[in-house]
Amino acid sequence: MQNDIQEVLISEEEIQAKIKELGEKLSAEYEGRDPLVICVLKGAFIFMADLVKNITVPMELDFMAVSSYGASTKSSGVVKIIKDLDESVEGRDVLIVEDIIDSGLTLSYLIDLLENRKAKSIAVVTLFDKPARRTVDLQADYAGFVLPDAFVVGYGLDYAEHYRNLPYIGILKPEIYSN
Ligand code: XMP
Ligand code: MG
């Protein structure tokens, strides 16, 4: 599997150090607020697990699965809820945990949805950000790494459902896509 990776962009050590930093900031921000921390599946599952271990305040966790219709390496903006939240967000301080923000369409849909459900506050933490590809005006409140405009895999992110288990972020060899 590792043979499919052309280049490691961000190492496991760099990712873990950044998550510690984010955890410290979020622990200070959410002191006394008992946030509802929402993982956007599937991509954010590893980040969610590592992040919440580094947030020291009481919290509840919930999971939501969404997918956008259309091509596999591009968001179409039409978001389908595969699995909805179990908890009500009404009156809650909500923290959305995302793997990567690309066009921003998925996140902008989610924020609208949670606003309509009357969340008290909504903040977004993303591990990876591709600001150059944004089609909607949207910024994460907390972002780990800014990435170049390239399709990346690993640390939760997939190509055709593979590579999510890699502990680092990398770029695939071009021939993998043409198979
Ligand atoms: P949008 O465009 O809605 O996209 O911000 C967010 C979702 O698109 C996926 N995505 C990627 N998945 N490597 C991936 O494996 C990438 O480089 C990449 N860029 C975007 C991802 O599911 C994200 O939640
Ligand atoms: Mg994906």
Q: State the ligand closest to the CA atom of 107.
A: 1
- Identify which ligand lies nearest to the alpha carbon of 177: 1
Question: Which residues span the domain enclosing 50?
Answer: 2-178
Please determine, for residue 71, whether its predicted confidence score (pLDDT) is greater than 80: no
Give the residue, by CA position, lying nearest to ligand 1 atom 21.
100
User: Is there a catalytic annotation at residue 141?
Assistant: no
Query: Residue 163 to residues 1, 5, 116, 123, 147: CA-CA distances in angstroms?
Result: 8, 9, 35, 28, 18
pLDDT tens digits for 13-26? 999 999 999 999 99
Domain count across the chain: 1
The one catalytic residue among 50, 93, 102, 129: 102
Tokens coding 52 = 């919440």
Share the mean pLDDT of the chain.
Answer: 93
| Residue/partner pairs of 19-23 with CB below 8 Å, 24 or more apart | 19/47, 19/50, 19/51, 19/54, 19/127, 19/144, 20/54, 22/51, 22/54, 22/125, 22/142, 22/144, 23/51, 23/53, 23/54, 23/55, 23/56
**Residue 135 Cα: closest atom of ligand 1:** 2
Could you report the per-residue pLDDT of 124-173, keeping only the tens digit for each?
Answer: 999 999 999 999 999 999 999 999 999 999 999 999 999 999 999 999 99
Distance from the alpha carbon of residue 144 to the mean position of ligand 1, in angstroms: 15
Share of the chain above pLDDT 90, in %: 87
ipTM value for the complex = 0.91
CATH number, domain containing residue 105: 3.40.50.2020
Ligand 1 site, CB within 6 A: 43, 68, 75, 99-107, 151-153, 157-158
Instruction: Find the 156 Cα to ligand 2 centroid distance in Å.
Output: 9
At 79 the pLDDT is 86
Asked if 60 contacts 33 with a C-beta cutoff of 8 angstroms, the reply is: no
Residue 178 has pLDDT above 80, yes or no: no
